[in-house]
Amino acid sequence: MIADGGDNASARTFDDVIGMARASNAVIYGVALVDPIDQSAQPKRLEELARATGGVSFRPQTATDVAQVLRDVAAEIRHTYTVGYTPTRPPDGAYRAVRVVVADPDKRRLTVRTRSGYTAAPAPVVGRGE
């Protein structure tokens, strides 16, 4: 997502957007392009949205920085692992926090980004076509 983080005519609140992002399987990468004199810019919102989905947000300062950020995002997407698990509690529609801990046996520095949690939505009921 390339934006300045400001809201200029949304039909939804930012909390609604965070909720929808958390409920999705999307990972959001934010690229904040902020005009220093624009008082409505809110790049922290892009950071919050990215963090909630396991992504990351960047704030490049020059056109060269923008190009490098986009290369970095593309490289990260190509080097992503997916980890899954089966919860022990039944789905109840609640938001559940997630914490992932990793340790490298060779003591290398690892970078791990995860979603902050997920919505344990019940499976949709599929009706019979009568």
pLDDT for position 67: 94
What's the pLDDT band for 85 if we cut at 50, 70, 90?
confident
- How confident is the model over 35-81, as pLDDT tens digits? 888 888 899 999 999 998 889 999 999 989 999 999 999 998 888 88
106 DSSP assignment: T
Report pLDDT for 106. 93
Provide the percentage of residues in the chain whose pLDDT is more than 90: 35
Q: CA neighbours within 13 Å on the CB side: how many for 7?
A: 10
Which has the closest alpha carbon to 117: 56, 51, 57, 73?
51
Q: Is the pLDDT of residue 127 over 70?
A: no
CA atoms of 108 and 4, how far apart (whole Å): 35
pLDDT at 25: 80
Is residue 128 predicted with pLDDT exceeding 70?
no
Count of helix runs (H) and strand runs (E) in the chain: 3, 5
Q: Using CA atoms, how far apart are residues 47 and 50, in angstroms rounded to an integer?
A: 5
Instruction: Give the residue among 82, 30, 26 at the shortest CA–CA distance from 53.
Output: 26
- Cβ neighbours of residue 84 closer than 8 Å, sequence gap 6 or more: none
Work out the burial of residue 32: count CB atoms within 10 Å of its CB; fewer than 13 is exposed, 13-18 middle, 19 or more buried.
Answer: buried
β-bridge partners, 32: 3
What pLDDT score does 125 carry?
67
pLDDT digits (tens, 9 = 90+) for 11-31: 999 999 988 888 888 899 999
Q: Is 117 helix (H, G, I), strand (E, B) or coil?
A: strand
Per the structure block, which two tokens stand in for 26?
């999307």
Q: Write out pLDDT tens, residues 91-104.
A: 888 888 888 888 88
State residue 116's pLDDT score.
79
* Domain spans in the chain, listed from the N-terminal domain onward: 2-119
